Structure 1
């Protein structure tokens, strides 16, 4: 019986952007990680806030990247939002869609009627990410919500990862309406709400799932809210400085540089690490010295910061520690 991190769980739920791929390119090692889990008999699922692709399209994209996936393994916020609307409104009701064609298709599939103008008298506005979203549809949405339409957001990710760095996400587009309307959406469906995680676990009859993500404010907070252990990988949005400053509801169980951490001992990734020395690093109070694996240093620092030492009081007492602090923006 293996004693690696993944072996302690009966389901691994992956976020996609920043974990498995960046936009449309696989992250190195991701395909191998999923293949190894499947070979070990560990079920996988994919839970994404991205509402610009349908589940079947996501599965096809993953398969094309060398990550075999079935549509029923993919849960996305577009499908979840459409399902919520179908529960609230009669069949055929007009729903103004702000987002990609995938979101319109999900709304249509549950028996509602996608529309695009205030004059269509929509009973609801559903807003998801779409690269073509512009002022005109946002204006129609603002008029509709102000007239009484229910406002549902698929997710509120402020940014989405890309090879060039973080780009505006659906949360940034939601902020446009929030500013214009001076109010919050009536409902946010995706992470950090726990629904995608709990649904994935239920569909797999999982009793001990592990959520894997790159964002503290969505993936990790959603896992904490769902009562699940979580692994933060440092291949996407959230970095070391954000992890050190994370409040309790955004603190993962584990951290690793990438998905290879799934196949190393759990104790090499567990947070926080409370010790004076580990892996070539030494922590004396708030001073870090020595050299070694950056993730080990991060785990040590999480131990002291989460115990109450202010982030601003951390100091670097070796050349390697100085380089780390500079790279991390500390």
Structure 2
């Protein structure tokens, strides 16, 4: 392992979209890098804002690509969103309109809430997470419920997601549509909130993990806020130029071209003048 990156670090917390894969396919070198790290005994966790898939589904996808992964290594924004929902409501009872995936609905139901299908059923809360099948009618129901006074929680606020074909709208873009219609904003879980990183680190027994991601406003900001060193890789959303211009909270400890550069050591310059 590269001494440049892993001296003083006891594991890796890695984003997925734009770091390990884009769409359904692996990014060049990512599978081999993650396999090598785990063969060397480095604990690896996957921290994702994708609220549409269960941890086992994510782990299965990773295994299909060739990455050794188990559900216990995957930490997503759907459970984080439901944690925030529970905190905001102050109870595990009530009606919740779920604007998102079947997995998000299942997590809400597992916590004891009654899932409803429309604003006409007078939900106490709306929870909104990404699902590629969402349409105008789903967003309209969310807007009706929020306008009627329902508590509004978003699993995450990523405005875009990298796909094999290019950059596509993310959950944050859909949340913004509801916000424009209602004149309000949700409380949000997931990255860049530091809790998701700390939860992952605690679950894996890590005190000083290295956080790797492709987005300054989620991965890097959240890793920094959690008190961890961060690496921006240039295989997704942000660039060397945006990193150099980023404000302090969004400024990565290092910038590297891709995940394999973690093993190579010194392929790219740092965005932080304190680090080489």
Structure-1-length-normalised TM-score: 0.79
1:202 is displaced (CA, Å) by 1.1
Distance 1:2 1:254, change over 3 A: closer
Q: For 2:64 and 2:229, how far apart are their aligned partners in 1? A: 29
1:69 is displaced (CA, Å) by 0.9
Give 3-state SS (helix, strand or coil) of 1:271's partner. coil
- On the 8 A contact 1:54/1:106 being kept in 2, the answer is no
Distance 1:241 1:24, change over 3 A: same
Distance 1:13 1:269, change over 3 A: farther
Q: For 2:134 and 2:123, how far apart are their aligned partners in 1? A: 18
Query: Which runs of 4 or more aligned residues in structure 1 lie more than 6 Å from their structure 2 counterparts after TM superposition?
Result: none
Higher relative CO (Cα under 8 Å, sequence separation at least 6) belongs to 2
Give 3-state SS (helix, strand or coil) of 2:12's partner. strand
Q: For 1:137 and 1:31, how far apart are their aligned partners in 2? A: 36
1:266 is displaced (CA, Å) by 6.1
Aligned residues: 275
1:205 is displaced (CA, Å) by 2.1
Question: Any unmatched runs of 5+ in structure 1?
Answer: 275-298, 301-330
Name the residue aligned to 1:209.
209
Name the residue aligned to 1:295.
none
- On the 8 A contact 1:77/1:154 being kept in 2, the answer is yes
1:6 is displaced (CA, Å) by 2.9
> Cα RMSD over matched residues?
2.0
Give 3-state SS (helix, strand or coil) of 1:62's partner. helix
Q: For 1:86 and 1:113, how far apart are their aligned partners in 2? A: 13
- On the 8 A contact 1:86/1:111 being kept in 2, the answer is no
Q: For 1:223 and 1:114, how far apart are their aligned partners in 2? A: 33
Do structure 1's residue 196 and structure 2's residue 185 form an aligned pair?
no
- On the 8 A contact 2:252/2:272 being kept in 1, the answer is no
1:214 is displaced (CA, Å) by 0.2
Name the residue aligned to 1:163.
164
Q: Equivalent residues in 2 for 1:63-82 (5 A)?
A: 63-82=63-82
Q: For 1:39 and 1:75, how far apart are their aligned partners in 2? A: 21
Structure-2-length-normalised TM-score: 0.93
Q: For 1:10 and 1:120, how far apart are their aligned partners in 2? A: 49
Q: For 2:23 and 2:225, how far apart are their aligned partners in 1? A: 27
Give 3-state SS (helix, strand or coil) of 2:126's partner. strand
Name the residue aligned to 1:113.
114
Q: For 1:75 and 1:184, how far apart are their aligned partners in 2? A: 25
Question: Any unmatched runs of 5+ in structure 2?
Answer: none
Q: Which structure's CA Rg is the greater one?
A: 1
